[in-house]
């Protein structure tokens, strides 16, 4: 009788272990499924964000097209929240970067919600809000260039460090930097900083470099 009771206890214990094992397996399976769904959602979300940022960092004409400005008859208010400037000087030196506006579709590249001062090379947003700001830096080696780091800083909101390697060929180095910031009528001025060797024979590409900003909300 005692032996029969022991056998029943063993069988009961085995059954309990199997049930617990099944529960653990089910829990692990559900956890893996939830983790997979979460990772997939994050990946999709990340891809959408990257896609959106890439679209925002296209050439200024693409940005105008995205805003619906396709010809000179388009209303000026459609671009009031957008501004784009191009550099005036190709030399690399410790200095305040000089900019100029660009004409697109018969109008200026600085919207009415911005104030650009060509004497101080400052850009001022007239409306408080969240802004997307980016800078495109394209630098070319003209002949036997030394290595160094070119730094471009806008106000204290955006810093772009461009690594330049020693080169004997006519090589172009490109870098695009961006930020999203709360702005409240600050004067945005870009400063360029170079190392002691002055980065001789490196030159800023005036056509493909630029500073862009637009109001997000």
Our measurement of the distance from residue 138's CA atom to the centroid of its chain's CA atoms, rounded to an integer in Å, reads: 16
Name residues whose C-beta falls within 8 Å of residue 46's C-beta, 6 or more positions apart in sequence.
Answer: none
Q: What is the pLDDT of residue 104?
A: 73
Q: What is the pLDDT of residue 27?
A: 57
Q: Read off the pLDDT of each residue in 77-84 and give the average, rounded to a whole number.
A: 79
Q: Read off the pLDDT of each residue in 13-38 and give the average, rounded to a whole number.
A: 55
Q: Are residues 86 and 186 in the same domain?
A: yes
- What is the tens place of the pLDDT at every residue in 125-163? 999 999 999 999 999 998 888 899 999 999 889 999 999
Measured CA distances, 85 to 33, 145, 201 (Å)? 49, 27, 24
| Count of domains for the chain | 2
Of 19, 36, 56, the residue at which a domain comes to its end is 56
Instruction: Reduce the DSSP state of residue 177 to 3 states and report it.
Output: strand
* CB 88, CB 205: distance < 8 Å: no
pTM of structure: 0.64
Q: Which of 170, 172, 155, 179 is nearest to 208 (CA)?
A: 172
Q: Read off the pLDDT of each residue in 36-57 and give the average, rounded to a whole number.
A: 48
Q: What is the pLDDT of residue 26?
A: 57
- What is the tens place of the pLDDT at every residue in 173-200? 999 999 999 998 889 999 999 998 788 8
Range of the domain at 190: 60-215
Q: Are residues 49 and 91 in the same domain?
A: no
Q: Read off the pLDDT of each residue in 103-107 and give the average, rounded to a whole number.
A: 77
Tell me how far apart the alpha carbons of residues 105 and 214 are, in angstroms, rounded to a whole number.
Answer: 18
Q: For residue 180, give the CATH number of its domain.
A: 2.60.120.40
Q: Are residues 68 and 40 in the same domain?
A: no
Tell me how far apart the alpha carbons of residues 168 and 147 are, in angstroms, rounded to a whole number.
Answer: 11
Q: In what order do the strands lie in the sheet with 148-154?
A: 95-96, 190-193, 148-154, 158-164
Q: What is the pLDDT of residue 64?
A: 46
Q: Are residues 74 and 152 in the same domain?
A: yes
Q: Are residues 65 and 169 in the same domain?
A: yes
Q: What is the pLDDT of residue 2?
A: 47
Of 15, 39, 56, the residue at which a domain comes to its end is 56
Q: Are residues 50 and 65 in the same domain?
A: no
φ/ψ of 198, rounded to 5, equals: 70, 0
Average pLDDT of the chain? 76
Banded model confidence at residue 80, pLDDT cuts 50, 70, 90: confident
Of 14, 30, 56, the residue at which a domain comes to its end is 56
Q: Are residues 88 and 159 in the same domain?
A: yes
Q: Are residues 89 and 152 in the same domain?
A: yes
Q: Are residues 50 and 69 in the same domain?
A: no
């Amino acid at each position: 009788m005692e032996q029969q009771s022991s056998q029943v206890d063993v069988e009961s214990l085995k059954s309990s272990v199997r049930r617990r094992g099944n529960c653990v397996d089910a829990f692990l399976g559900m956890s893996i499924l939830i983790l997979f769904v979460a990772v997939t959602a994050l990946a999709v979300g990340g891809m959408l964000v990257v896609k959106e940022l890439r679209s925002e960092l296209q050439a200024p004409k693409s940005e105008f097209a995205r805003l619906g400005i396709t010809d000179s008859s388009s209303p000026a208010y459609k671009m009031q929240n957008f501004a784009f400037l191009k550099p005036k000087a190709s030399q690399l030196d410790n200095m305040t970067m000089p900019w100029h506006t660009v004409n697109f579709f018969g109008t200026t590249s600085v919207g009415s919600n911005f104030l650009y001062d060509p004497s101080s090379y400052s850009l001022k947003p007239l409306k408080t809000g969240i802004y997307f700001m980016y800078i495109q830096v394209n630098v070319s080696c003209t002949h036997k260039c030394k290595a160094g780091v070119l730094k471009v800083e806008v106000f204290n909101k955006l810093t772009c460090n461009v690594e330049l390697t020693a080169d004997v060929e006519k090589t172009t180095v490109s870098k695009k930097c961006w930020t999203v910031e709360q702005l409240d009528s600050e004067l945005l001025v870009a400063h360029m900083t170079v190392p002691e060797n002055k980065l001789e024979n490196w030159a800023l590409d005036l056509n493909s470099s630029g500073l862009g900003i637009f109001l997000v909300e």
